[in-house]
Amino acid sequence: PILQASTSEIYGDPLEHPQSESYWGNVNPIGPRACYDEGKRVAEALCIAYKSYNKTQIRIARIFNTYGPYMDQKDGRVVSNFIVQALQGLPITLYGDGSQTRSFCFVDDMTDALIKLMKSDLQSPVNLGNPSEYKITDLASIIKEKTSSSSELIFQDLPEDDPKIRCPDITLAREKLLWGPKIKLKEGLELTVEWFRDEIES
Protein backbone atom coordinates (compact mmCIF):
# COMPACT_ATOMS: atom_id res chain seq x y z
CA PRO A 1 0.00 0.00 0.00
CA ILE A 2 1.02 3.62 -0.60
CA LEU A 3 0.95 5.92 2.43
CA GLN A 4 -0.23 9.43 1.65
CA ALA A 5 1.03 11.65 4.51
CA SER A 6 -1.80 14.15 4.46
CA THR A 7 -2.41 16.85 7.02
CA SER A 8 -4.86 18.64 9.27
CA GLU A 9 -4.19 21.65 7.00
CA ILE A 10 -6.71 20.18 4.58
CA TYR A 11 -9.38 21.44 7.02
CA GLY A 12 -8.04 25.01 6.67
CA ASP A 13 -9.42 27.50 9.23
CA PRO A 14 -12.13 25.09 10.38
CA LEU A 15 -15.77 26.00 10.96
CA GLU A 16 -16.40 22.65 12.63
CA HIS A 17 -14.76 21.69 15.90
CA PRO A 18 -13.28 19.22 16.56
CA GLN A 19 -12.58 18.18 12.98
CA SER A 20 -13.80 14.77 11.89
CA GLU A 21 -12.98 13.12 8.58
CA SER A 22 -16.42 13.97 7.16
CA TYR A 23 -15.72 17.73 7.36
CA TRP A 24 -14.74 19.19 3.95
CA GLY A 25 -12.76 22.08 5.31
CA ASN A 26 -12.46 25.84 4.91
CA VAL A 27 -9.38 26.53 2.81
CA ASN A 28 -8.39 29.72 1.00
CA PRO A 29 -7.42 28.33 -2.43
CA ILE A 30 -5.18 31.28 -3.33
CA GLY A 31 -3.75 32.26 0.07
CA PRO A 32 -0.11 32.01 1.15
CA ARG A 33 -0.68 28.50 2.55
CA ALA A 34 -2.52 27.31 -0.56
CA CYS A 35 0.39 25.51 -2.20
CA TYR A 36 0.63 23.36 0.89
CA ASP A 37 -2.98 22.85 1.98
CA GLU A 38 -4.58 22.76 -1.48
CA GLY A 39 -1.63 20.63 -2.64
CA LYS A 40 -2.38 18.10 0.08
CA ARG A 41 -6.09 18.19 -0.81
CA VAL A 42 -5.38 17.39 -4.46
CA ALA A 43 -2.99 14.63 -3.38
CA GLU A 44 -5.84 12.99 -1.43
CA ALA A 45 -8.09 13.36 -4.49
CA LEU A 46 -5.47 11.70 -6.73
CA CYS A 47 -4.99 8.85 -4.26
CA ILE A 48 -8.73 8.18 -4.14
CA ALA A 49 -8.93 8.30 -7.95
CA TYR A 50 -6.01 5.84 -8.27
CA LYS A 51 -7.74 3.57 -5.81
CA SER A 52 -10.98 3.65 -7.84
CA TYR A 53 -9.55 3.39 -11.37
CA ASN A 54 -6.37 1.42 -10.87
CA LYS A 55 -7.24 -0.51 -7.73
CA THR A 56 -4.09 0.89 -6.12
CA GLN A 57 -3.83 0.17 -2.40
CA ILE A 58 -3.69 3.50 -0.57
CA ARG A 59 -3.80 4.66 3.04
CA ILE A 60 -4.38 8.34 3.83
CA ALA A 61 -3.22 9.71 7.20
CA ARG A 62 -4.38 13.21 8.11
CA ILE A 63 -1.51 14.05 10.43
CA PHE A 64 -2.14 16.76 13.03
CA ASN A 65 0.63 18.79 14.69
CA THR A 66 3.40 16.38 15.73
CA TYR A 67 6.56 17.09 17.75
CA GLY A 68 9.47 15.36 19.41
CA PRO A 69 13.22 14.71 19.27
CA TYR A 70 14.96 15.13 15.89
CA MET A 71 12.93 18.18 14.86
CA ASP A 72 15.01 20.70 12.97
CA GLN A 73 15.96 23.60 15.26
CA LYS A 74 15.22 26.03 12.46
CA ASP A 75 12.14 24.61 10.78
CA GLY A 76 9.99 27.36 12.23
CA ARG A 77 7.36 25.25 13.98
CA VAL A 78 6.00 26.42 17.26
CA VAL A 79 7.34 23.63 19.48
CA SER A 80 10.90 23.79 18.14
CA ASN A 81 10.91 27.61 18.06
CA PHE A 82 9.71 27.94 21.65
CA ILE A 83 12.07 25.29 23.07
CA VAL A 84 15.13 26.69 21.30
CA GLN A 85 14.21 30.26 22.30
CA ALA A 86 13.57 29.24 25.92
CA LEU A 87 16.83 27.27 26.21
CA GLN A 88 18.82 30.15 24.73
CA GLY A 89 17.13 32.82 26.86
CA LEU A 90 15.77 34.54 23.75
CA PRO A 91 12.28 36.10 23.59
CA ILE A 92 9.53 33.55 22.92
CA THR A 93 7.71 34.66 19.76
CA LEU A 94 3.93 34.32 19.95
CA TYR A 95 2.16 35.07 16.69
CA GLY A 96 -1.04 37.07 17.11
CA ASP A 97 -2.36 37.11 20.67
CA GLY A 98 -1.53 33.41 21.16
CA SER A 99 -5.18 32.46 21.71
CA GLN A 100 -5.20 30.16 18.67
CA THR A 101 -5.24 26.47 19.56
CA ARG A 102 -3.38 23.39 18.39
CA SER A 103 -3.36 19.75 19.53
CA PHE A 104 0.13 18.25 19.77
CA CYS A 105 0.97 14.57 19.24
CA PHE A 106 4.27 13.05 20.38
CA VAL A 107 6.24 11.47 17.54
CA ASP A 108 6.27 7.93 19.06
CA ASP A 109 2.48 7.92 19.22
CA MET A 110 2.35 9.09 15.60
CA THR A 111 4.71 6.39 14.30
CA ASP A 112 2.70 3.79 16.20
CA ALA A 113 -0.46 5.07 14.48
CA LEU A 114 1.13 5.04 11.03
CA ILE A 115 2.34 1.45 11.46
CA LYS A 116 -1.15 0.39 12.57
CA LEU A 117 -2.67 2.20 9.59
CA MET A 118 -0.37 0.42 7.13
CA LYS A 119 -1.25 -2.95 8.66
CA SER A 120 -4.98 -2.18 8.46
CA ASP A 121 -7.30 -2.25 5.47
CA LEU A 122 -8.72 1.22 6.13
CA GLN A 123 -9.44 2.74 2.72
CA SER A 124 -10.65 6.19 3.75
CA PRO A 125 -8.68 9.14 5.19
CA VAL A 126 -8.12 8.95 8.94
CA ASN A 127 -7.23 11.68 11.44
CA LEU A 128 -4.09 10.94 13.47
CA GLY A 129 -3.26 13.28 16.32
CA ASN A 130 -3.66 13.95 20.01
CA PRO A 131 -7.06 15.50 20.83
CA SER A 132 -5.79 17.43 23.88
CA GLU A 133 -6.10 21.04 22.73
CA TYR A 134 -3.94 23.93 23.98
CA LYS A 135 -3.76 27.66 23.37
CA ILE A 136 -0.37 28.76 22.08
CA THR A 137 -0.01 30.92 25.22
CA ASP A 138 -0.43 27.76 27.35
CA LEU A 139 2.21 25.96 25.29
CA ALA A 140 4.62 28.85 25.90
CA SER A 141 4.01 28.66 29.67
CA ILE A 142 4.55 24.89 29.79
CA ILE A 143 7.77 25.16 27.77
CA LYS A 144 9.05 27.98 30.00
CA GLU A 145 8.38 25.81 33.04
CA LYS A 146 9.98 22.68 31.56
CA THR A 147 13.12 24.59 30.53
CA SER A 148 13.24 26.74 33.73
CA SER A 149 13.62 29.68 31.36
CA SER A 150 13.24 33.36 32.15
CA SER A 151 12.65 34.29 28.49
CA GLU A 152 10.09 37.05 27.97
CA LEU A 153 7.04 36.48 25.76
CA ILE A 154 6.76 38.79 22.77
CA PHE A 155 3.86 39.13 20.35
CA GLN A 156 4.37 39.30 16.59
CA ASP A 157 2.06 39.50 13.57
CA LEU A 158 -0.19 36.51 12.99
CA PRO A 159 0.56 34.87 9.62
CA GLU A 160 -2.25 35.23 7.07
CA ASP A 161 -4.81 32.38 7.09
CA ASP A 162 -3.36 30.92 10.32
CA PRO A 163 -6.09 28.52 11.59
CA LYS A 164 -7.67 29.81 14.83
CA ILE A 165 -8.54 26.41 16.25
CA ARG A 166 -7.50 22.83 15.54
CA CYS A 167 -8.34 19.58 17.27
CA PRO A 168 -8.76 16.12 15.77
CA ASP A 169 -11.76 13.90 16.30
CA ILE A 170 -9.98 10.51 16.43
CA THR A 171 -13.03 8.28 16.84
CA LEU A 172 -12.30 6.55 13.53
CA ALA A 173 -8.67 5.79 14.46
CA ARG A 174 -9.75 4.51 17.87
CA GLU A 175 -12.38 2.21 16.33
CA LYS A 176 -10.60 0.98 13.18
CA LEU A 177 -6.96 1.03 14.23
CA LEU A 178 -7.47 0.44 17.95
CA TRP A 179 -5.09 3.37 18.42
CA GLY A 180 -5.02 6.38 20.69
CA PRO A 181 -2.15 8.58 21.88
CA LYS A 182 -0.50 7.55 25.15
CA ILE A 183 1.99 10.34 25.80
CA LYS A 184 0.68 13.51 27.44
CA LEU A 185 1.98 16.89 26.29
CA LYS A 186 3.99 17.64 29.43
CA GLU A 187 5.71 14.23 29.31
CA GLY A 188 6.48 14.52 25.58
CA LEU A 189 7.79 18.04 26.02
CA GLU A 190 10.18 16.89 28.78
CA LEU A 191 11.67 14.31 26.39
CA THR A 192 11.85 16.88 23.60
CA VAL A 193 13.45 19.57 25.78
CA GLU A 194 16.13 17.08 26.91
CA TRP A 195 16.91 16.22 23.31
CA PHE A 196 17.16 19.89 22.25
CA ARG A 197 19.32 20.67 25.31
CA ASP A 198 21.86 18.04 24.22
CA GLU A 199 21.73 19.23 20.60
CA ILE A 200 22.33 22.86 21.51
CA GLU A 201 25.16 22.04 23.93
CA SER A 202 26.96 19.64 21.56
Q: How far is the CB of 81 from ligand UDP (least distance, A)?
A: 4
Interacting stretch for ligand UDP, rule CB under 6 A, among 40-48, 50-58, 92-100, 188-196? Answer: 92-100
Complex with ligand UDP: residue 39 or 115, whichever CB lies closer = 39
Q: How far is the CB of 96 from ligand UDP (least distance, A)?
A: 6
Report whether 92 contacts 82 (CB < 8 A): yes
Q: Compute CA distances 197 → 31, 54, 84, 179, 190, whole Å.
A: 36, 48, 8, 31, 10
Q: Compute CA distances 175 → 36, 151, 171, 179, whole Å.
A: 29, 42, 6, 8
Out of 36, 53, 67, 95, which one is annotated catalytic? 36
Q: How far is the CB of 121 from ligand UDP (least distance, A)?
A: 30
Is 67 in the active site?
Answer: no
Complex with ligand UDP: residue 77 or 116, whichever CB lies closer = 77
Q: Distance between terminal CA atoms of the chain?
A: 40
Q: How far is the CB of 36 from ligand UDP (least distance, A)?
A: 9
**What does residue 85 show for φ and ψ, rounded to 5 degrees?**
-60, -45
Q: How many CB atoms lie within 10 A of CB 63?
A: 20
Instruction: State which of residues 32, 39, 159, 180 lies at the interface with ligand UDP (CB under 6 A).
Output: 159
Interaction with ligand UDP in 99-138: which residues (CB under 6 A)? 100, 102, 136
Helix axes 78-87 and 185-201, enclosed angle (nearest 10): 60
User: Active-site positions?
Assistant: 36
Query: Which residues would be at the binding site for ligand UDP (CB under 6 A)?
Result: 65, 77-78, 81, 93-95, 100, 102, 136, 159, 162
